[in-house]
Structure 1
């Protein structure tokens, strides 16, 4: 008779993952046709449109609200543009050990907050160009928020920013027959 305190079978699960990356620097326009590529292009366009609106306000562009909005929009423009170039030329894949997704998540989340402040300040100034810039700022805030959400999901699921990670899962079940005790 088998002892009731011990299971009659044992299951072992072994997970292994392998990372496949190509570390050569090359141009690949396929990234533009992905959702992260669309989001980066939208971010660049909205950053630029907001900046142009503030600059088109004439003498009002030197107000502190306009300067803050221009700082947020131009810093976002350049950082997002550099990140887009890194993805297009697979520089992110070359340096795959850097936690790119965590960096981008933090960057996008920070820019949501900064654009909330900048757009609110622009809209409350009651100058038409500032109101238009505020609209583009709120749109940029939403796009950065969507990007942050996708980056958060990717970080939680253990994805790479570029390249492939293959996870192999093997399950072994060992069945032990009860032996008779003397």
Structure 2
């Protein structure tokens, strides 16, 4: 007599979203919302440090300003998308992956831009480098949070529930 076990697994996903645009100020009280606001503020402060310097025309300053303004606009637009639930309306777009890749790339870009700015003898550039390193950490934290969310199978807004059913069946056969 031989026995073998047969297992069948059924996975069901249910995504619940409200597909209309509405203003929801609660996002700024969440951890991703706070991190996004911190990124925006640090981008702006670093940009101002370079721009109010007499040497803002130098290549180091231009590169830092490019990095800070691209980060400012991307993070600002994403904040507006989350506040007005645009990400929930278009939930099929992989918002978390887009943000994950951007935040990881921007952490690296800020490391380079801040190092270049810190290597100068201009105090305003060194102050901008400090805020750039802080922004690098903030973007790194945001990338880590997005990585955990992507790995858990979450969506940017709304909810996704996963139901897993597992059935086992033992089959016995008689052999002569």
| TM-score for both structures, normalised by structure 2 | 0.94
* Structure index of larger Rg: 1
Q: Which residue of 1 aligns with 2:71?
A: 76
Q: Which residue of 1 aligns with 2:46?
A: 50
1:175 to partner: Cα distance: 4.1
- Cα separation, 2, equivalents of 1:18 and 1:130: 50
- Cα separation, 2, equivalents of 1:115 and 1:65: 12
SS at match of 1:105: helix
1:86 aligns to 2:81 (yes or no): yes
What are the ranges of 5 or more consecutive residues in structure 1 without an aligned counterpart? none
1:179 to partner: Cα distance: 6.2
Residue 12 (structure 1) aligned to one of 2, 5, 8: 8
Q: Which residue of 1 aligns with 2:161?
A: 166
How many equivalent residue pairs? 176
What are the ranges of 5 or more consecutive residues in structure 2 without an aligned counterpart? none
- Cα separation, 1, equivalents of 2:173 and 2:76: 69
1:36 to partner: Cα distance: 0.6
SS at match of 2:56: helix
